[in-house]
Structure formats: C-alpha cells, structure tokens
Amino acid sequence: MKHNRLFSRMMVCGFVLFFGLGSALALPWIADSQRAAARNEPGTPAFPSAQTCYATPDNGATVFSNTNSAPVQQAVDAVTPGGTVKVAGTCEGVQTRAGMTQTVYITKNLTLQGGHTETDWSQDPNPETHTTKLDASGIGRVVVVTGTVDITLDNLTTTGGKAYSESLEGCGGGIWTNTALTLTNSTVFSNTALSGGGMCNLLANPKISSVTFSENSAVEVGGAIFNLGAGGASSPVLTNVSFLGNIAGEHGGAMSNSGFEGESSPELTNVIFSGNAAGKNGGGMYNSGSGITISSPLGIPSSNLIWLDQTIPNNDIQSSTSSPKLTNVTFCGNSAGDYGGAMFNSGDGGSSHPELNNTILWNNRDRSGTGTVSATILLTGSASTTLTHSLVEGAGDSGINWIGGDYIDGGGNIDEDPLFVEPISPTDAPTRTGNLRLQPNSPAIDAGDNELTTVTSDLDNEPRKKDGDANGTATVDMAAYEAMGSYQLSVSKTGNGGGQVTSSPAGIDCGNTCSNFFLEDSLVTLAAVQDSNSTFTGWGGVCSGTENCLVKITSAMSVTANFETNPQLTVYLS
C-alpha cells in the first residue's frame, strides 16, 4: 500500500530527524525488555483468555462469538460496505493483517458500534449498561483504519494497545488511521506507543466527539494523540473531549501536533486537559510549526533522504504550520519537565499561532514553577498566540497589565483564580483526579464572548449560555464547563434566645453570614447550636423538626431557626 510505503520511509527519515536519536529512552518506567519484546510483533493470531465477544454484521441475523477478538474481524470482513457492525462484550486479542498487528483492521466504509447486548441487537446502544471493550492485551494495536474509506467508531472502549516498533508500527497504540474517521461516545484508555499512545492520525482529519482519553502513554510525543501533517494536513476537530492523566516522555503529554512540511491545526471546543505530563515540553499540548533541518543524522547521504517520493536537499529547511484554534477549553494541573506546562508552541522556521477563545489556563507547571507565563504558554521562534476572553495565569488583565509581545491581547482577558470545584495540583500529574467545574462565585462565569462560541451545549451537555451572574443576559462562561445554576439559601433566626446556624458545605455561619449561594441540585446540611442560656426549638420554612436539616437546592430558599431563652428559676427567701 502506498501510504504504508511512504510512512515507513518517513519513520526512518522523519522520526529520528524530528525527535532526535535516543529519544525512545525518555520514559524510564517502560523497561528496555518490554520495548524489545514489543518490537517482535506476532505473526499469528494471539488470543488471551477473555470474556465472550459477540459481533454481528447484519443486526443479529448472523452472530459471531468467541472468547477472543476474532468475532469483530469476522463481522467486519462480512459486513456490506456502508453497513454497521454491532459488538457486545469484551473482545480481547490481536491478529496480523497486511503486516500490522491489531484487534481489528478496517479497510471499508462502515460503522463499528459497541454498547449492545447479545440478547437483543435491535436495542439502541447503551455503553453505560453494556460496556463494549476492544482490548489488544499489550500485544499490538487495537484499531487500524486505512484506505480511502469513511469509518465511524461509536460507543467503544479501546484499551491495551501497544505499538513500539521504530517504523510505521511505532505510532498509535490504541487507534491508527490515515483516512477519514469519526470517533464518538468512546473511551481510549491505557494504550501506549512510541508516539500517539492513544491515537495516531497520519495525514488524517478525524472528527472526535464525546470521547475521553485517559492514562495513555508515549515514549516520545503525544501521550494521548499524535497528529502529523507530513506534507499534507492532520487537523482533527474535537468537541466535548477530556484528556486525563496522559503522559509523554518528550513532548505533548496529551496532544502533539506537527505540520512537518504540512499543517496540523486542530480545532477544539469544550475540551479539558487535566493532569497530563510531558518529560520535556508541552505538558498538555505541543504544537510544532518548526521547519525541519535535514542533516543526515543517520549518516545517509542527503540525496537518499526521501520524503513523499521527493529527495530533500541537505540542510534545506522545510516549513510547516501548527496553529490550533481552542474555544472553551480548560487546562489545569498539567506539568512539563522543561517548558510550557499547559502548552508549548514552536515556530522555528515555520508557523505556530494558536488562537484561544473563552479558555482557562490555570495552575500548570514547568521548570520555571507554577503560575508563570512559561508554565502557561511557552512561545519559541516566530510563534505567537492570540488570546480573547480567556483566563490566562501569569499574563495579566486586558488593557491593564497585559504581558504583551507575542501574546496578542484580543480583549476580555483576566488573570485570577477561576475557583474550580476541585482544582488539580500539577505536582500530582499524571492524574485523573479533580473537578474543573466552576464554583458559583468564579470570575470566569459570564466572562466569555457569545460571538466566539458556536455550540449550544457544554462538556456536560448542559446549555452553553446561561445567566450566571443574574444580570438578565445569558452569556457564555470561560472554560469547558458552563457553571451550574446557583440559588441563594437564606437563614433567619427567630425567638428571644440565641444560637448559631452553620452549613456543610461551608457558606453559612449565622452569626454573621446568614445567606449564600449554592449550586443547583447540591445538598446542604444546616446545623443549629443553641447558646448556653437558650434552647433550639425547631426549624421553619423548608426545614422542620429539631434535627439537622438537609436541603436540596432547587430554587431560592429560606429557613428559619427558632431559639428561645431558657426560663429563669427565681427563689424567694422568707
């Protein structure tokens, strides 16, 4: 196949040129013995013992089943082009086809859909109750998609993929594609490769929506995803995607984008980069618009270096572009060993100009520390970035103390704590912990620009534009999550006695603070403590009785707490 031949050449001439000799040693937690074994791709099917796998190419008329992954490949081979292969259960193992080793190899137009049950194929898929897992068991890739085809992968968990060879085989442990692909409603979990641990897109522009990439790893670049333009374009469109706890030994803990004499400029909307890590640059994202200097590090004469069937002259700089567009994206808790805790952009000899709108970059770390501009967005060479209505740690506020230079102020930018519900420390990366939704008093609420947002819902599929500050206008928030609605809970004390009312979670201490806002649908417990000379006699309003009161916040609510003075005992002496 032409693509395989071209990319095999690229991997010999390109990976070593692009990433440097010896870079495969960058991840100390991947033992040399593991890598050596991984290069010996099996030539015969490998089927570890597993749960039962079911697949049908014709909505249940024909059902393939086995305790390995063979049914998936059988159904894919049998399905009519343009049809749907439905899968149920756990499909574990790999097979070798066209020189590549994977769970399933796809070369025709189709939809591969999980979330089914083998007892009723007519039901709509439900991945929450019927998880479908494709598991390569660390022996090869999970999914390979190639050829002039249009594929949809839906409601699948892709895991256990490994791709460590130094050629074409070294990219994309979970998913490898060089063609049109839609990935939706899926999880890409715990896959590994030299580059693009979770997914490798070579001259491909996939559409990725409602997908979580978590705990994937790469020895070199792109812990979760590696996008390579390679003389053409690789610019995926991502909507409602989470990158959690991925790691790369060199660059791009979650995502690495390289034009490489082409373009890699993904578009991201409602995306979080949380707790990812890179050994060198770009803890969350690495964008390379750098030109590539061909200097024959392998000792091969420059006239023999072939790139897409063209000889590249020695020391000729080939330009490339990597300028992603990010809208309502959140970076928090990402870490880089060198620079660009959240994002690193290289424009040496090429172009890198990311555009960030309604985006938050907070509490990321690199060698300069946490909270610096370098730890937030690092620019090298000719790289620049335009930031508009975004919260950018270390960059200052628009029109007041903005950093300036190649950090272009599009207006509406702020630099203050976004008040996440559960912020993440970059010292914990890689990690999946944390909650990057906004607290009710976050400065990011209603601080975005409606004109910059085209989607109607957020990462939680909640309405994208709400009136979060109660000023009568529905305005988009910064970040991937629109803040949940909040309502005021008010406490008043009645009676002639005294006492205190407190809340859990904190917010009311009445005493002094007798009202506060709490998130919609949250549970608030109120406790009353009487003074020494008083008795708490009971609640009123939405509470009753004398025990602690549990309130579910569904609207503005009021509670009364009644305290009465204890009777005084008077003794008369005669």
Task: Say how many C-beta atoms besides its own lie within 10 A of residue 296's C-beta.
Answer: 15
Choice among 184-188, 229-233, 487-491 with the minimum mean pLDDT? 229-233
User: What is residue 306's predicted lDDT score, i.e. its pLDDT?
Assistant: 35
By DSSP bridging, strand 277-278 and strand 335-336 are: parallel
Give the integer Cα–Cα distance in Å for 292 and 13: 11
| Residue 248, strand partner residues | 218, 278
Confidence of residue 555 (pLDDT cuts 50, 70, 90): confident
Give the integer Cα–Cα distance in Å for 488 and 190: 43
Token digits of residue 45? 């099917």
User: What is residue 574's predicted lDDT score, i.e. its pLDDT?
Assistant: 65
Choice among 45-54, 112-121, 164-173, 233-242 with the minimum mean pLDDT? 45-54
Element (H, E) at 35: helix 32-39
Confidence of residue 320 (pLDDT cuts 50, 70, 90): confident
CB under 8 Å, gap of 24 or more: what pairs does 479-482 form? Answer: 479/328, 479/329, 479/330, 479/358, 479/359, 479/360, 479/391, 479/418, 479/436, 479/438, 479/444, 480/270, 480/271, 480/272, 480/328, 480/329, 480/330, 480/436, 481/330, 481/436, 481/437, 481/438, 482/458
pLDDT of 485 higher than 90: no
| pLDDT tens, residue by residue, 514-531 | 999 887 788 999 999 999
| pLDDT tens, residue by residue, 231-243 | 889 999 999 999 9
Confidence of residue 165 (pLDDT cuts 50, 70, 90): low
Give the integer Cα–Cα distance in Å for 64 and 431: 38
- Report yes or no: 91 and 116 within 8 Å, Cβ to Cβ: no
| pLDDT tens, residue by residue, 349-372 | 789 999 999 999 999 999 999 989
User: What is residue 291's predicted lDDT score, i.e. its pLDDT?
Assistant: 53
Give the integer Cα–Cα distance in Å for 339 and 280: 7
Burial of 299 (0-12, 13-18, 19+ CB in 10 A): exposed
Mean pLDDT of the region 467-487? 86
Phi-psi region for residue 261, left (φ > 0), alpha (ψ -120 to 50) or beta? left
Mean pLDDT, the chain, integer? 85
| pLDDT tens, residue by residue, 266-300 | 999 999 999 999 999 999 999 998 754 433 332 32
pTM score, two decimals? 0.80
Sign of the alpha-carbon dihedral angle for 507, 509, 513, 515: positive
By DSSP bridging, strand 207-214 and strand 180-189 are: parallel
C-alpha triplet 142, 15, 295: angle, nearest 5°: 170
Give the integer Cα–Cα distance in Å for 68 and 376: 45
Confidence of residue 318 (pLDDT cuts 50, 70, 90): low
For residue 272, which of 247, 237, 248, 240 has the smallest C-alpha distance?
Answer: 240
Backbone angles phi, psi at 6, to 5 degrees: -65, -45
Q: 169: Cβ–Cβ under 8 A, 6 or more apart, which residues?
A: 41, 100, 101, 163
Give the integer Cα–Cα distance in Å for 565 and 494: 11
For residue 499, which of 525, 527, 529, 526 has the smallest C-alpha distance?
Answer: 529
Q: 158: Cβ–Cβ under 8 A, 6 or more apart, which residues?
A: 134, 142, 143, 174, 175, 186, 187, 188, 189, 191, 198
pLDDT of 476 higher than 80: yes
Confidence of residue 567 (pLDDT cuts 50, 70, 90): confident
| pLDDT tens, residue by residue, 192-224 | 999 999 999 999 999 999 999 999 999 999 999
Mean pLDDT of the region 80-107? 95
413: which DSSP letter?
A: -
Give the integer Cα–Cα distance in Å for 222 and 252: 5
- Report yes or no: 492 and 560 within 8 Å, Cβ to Cβ: yes
Token digits of residue 503? 């809340």
Mean pLDDT of the region 396-407? 94
The three-class DSSP label of residue 303 is: helix
